[in-house]
């Protein structure tokens, strides 16, 4: 069969499928519309038979007529269903042969190739502060990988060990993990950004947490954070001062709502603060050397 004839035959099958569907739809609605009238006709004849027994023959004839009409419609529906199945099979076969014919152009694949799946992209680096991070001794990373394994299932455990050792996730350490294991940069980045415990930038020796829960926010937590940033000279876009002594964090809740606004320096909490009192609380917890 030539491609031209095949296309015409496939189109014809499609048209016949639509015609069969139209007939089946018409029969369905016609049956639904006729049913109430037929039931009313039978009910009326039954009432007449109760009054005049001679009308029984008319009732029987009407019941037979309705039954024959319904049987004929059901038989036609069954035949059309089988025709529809056959036409659908022919249509699918013809369409498949048309698509697979030499003259047909294959649709461009949107799926990534094997090479794109395995390509290791560099780990996105966070914006650095004014000072570069200190040099990282990667010997610890080698020890952790040797201890925890090289499979993707070890990613979280390795990241936790690196965080505990360096107090953040150095880029050099993450790149070494990807070099030594089957863990991809995408997996590293996904885990490091999903879990709030992981830090991508160096952390100061002391952690200053300002509660920004509802009670503390209303009581002036924003002003306290801004005052601390100015006093500690923390650059915009960073949370740690240039000397990496203090890291300022805004947390959702410290569990001291009755003392709002609340500040915690390492494990020392202070409440009912003003911006000036927050600076005093910081100095009381960790006195700073005069500049």
pLDDT for the residue 121: 52
For residue range 252-280, list pLDDT tens digits in order: 888 888 888 999 988 888 999 999 999 99
Task: Measure the CA dihedral 134/138/141/147, to 10°.
Answer: -140
To which CATH superfamily is domain 206-285 assigned?
Glutaredoxin (3.40.30.10)
Q: Which residues of 45-80 are buried (b: 16+ CB within 10 A; e: fewer)?
A: beeebeeeeebeeebeeeeeebeeeeeeeeeeeeeb
* pLDDT above 80: residue 286: no
Start-to-end Cα distance in the chain: 93
pLDDT for the residue 228: 92
Looking at mean pLDDT, say which of 3-17, 62-76, 95-109, 211-225 comes out highest: 211-225
* pLDDT above 80: residue 2: no
* pLDDT above 90: residue 224: yes
pLDDT for the residue 132: 53
pLDDT for the residue 3: 75
Judging by beta carbons within 10 Å of its beta carbon (0-12, 13-18, 19+), is residue 149 exposed, middle or buried? Answer: middle
The answer to whether the CB of 10 falls within 8 A of the CB of 94 is: yes
For residue range 86-140, list pLDDT tens digits in order: 888 888 887 777 776 655 544 444 434 444 444 455 555 554 444 555 567 888 9
pLDDT for the residue 130: 45
Say which range, 15-19, 119-123, 244-248, has the weakest mean pLDDT: 119-123
Looking at mean pLDDT, say which of 110-114, 176-180, 198-202 comes out highest: 176-180
């Amino acid at each position: 069969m030539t491609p031209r004839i095949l296309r015409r035959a496939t189109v014809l099958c499609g048209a016949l499928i639509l015609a069969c569907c139209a007939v089946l739809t018409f029969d369905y609605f016609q049956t639904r519309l006729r049913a109430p009238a037929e039931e009313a006709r039978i009910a009326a004849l039954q009432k007449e038979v109760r009054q005049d027994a001679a009308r029984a023959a008319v009732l029987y004839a009407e019941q037979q007529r309705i039954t024959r009409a319904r049987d004929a419609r059901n038989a036609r529906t069954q035949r059309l269903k089988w025709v529809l199945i056959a036409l659908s099979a022919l249509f699918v076969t013809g369409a498949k042969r048309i698509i697979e014919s030499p003259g047909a152009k294959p649709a461009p694949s949107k799926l990534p190739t094997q090479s794109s799946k395995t390509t290791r992209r560099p780990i996105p680096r966070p914006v650095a502060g004014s000072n570069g991070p200190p040099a990282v001794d990667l010997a610890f990373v080698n020890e952790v990988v040797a201890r925890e394994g090289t499979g993707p299932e070890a990613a979280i455990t390795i990241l936790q060990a690196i965080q505990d050792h360096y107090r953040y996730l150095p880029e050099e350490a993450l790149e070494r993990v990807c070099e030594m294991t089957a863990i991809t940069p995408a997996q590293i980045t996904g885990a490091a950004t999903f879990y709030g415990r992981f830090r991508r930038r160096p952390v100061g020796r002391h952690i200053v947490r300002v509660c920004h829960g509802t009670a503390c926010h209303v009581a002036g937590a924003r002003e306290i954070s801004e005052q601390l940033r100015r006093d500690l000279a923390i650059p915009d876009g960073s949370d740690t001062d240039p000397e990496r002594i203090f890291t300022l964090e805004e947390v959702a809740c410290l569990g001291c709502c009755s003392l709002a606004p609340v500040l915690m320096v390492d494990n020392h909490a202070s409440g009912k603060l003003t911006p000036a009192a927050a600076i005093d609380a910081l100095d009381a917890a960790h006195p700073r050397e005069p500049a």
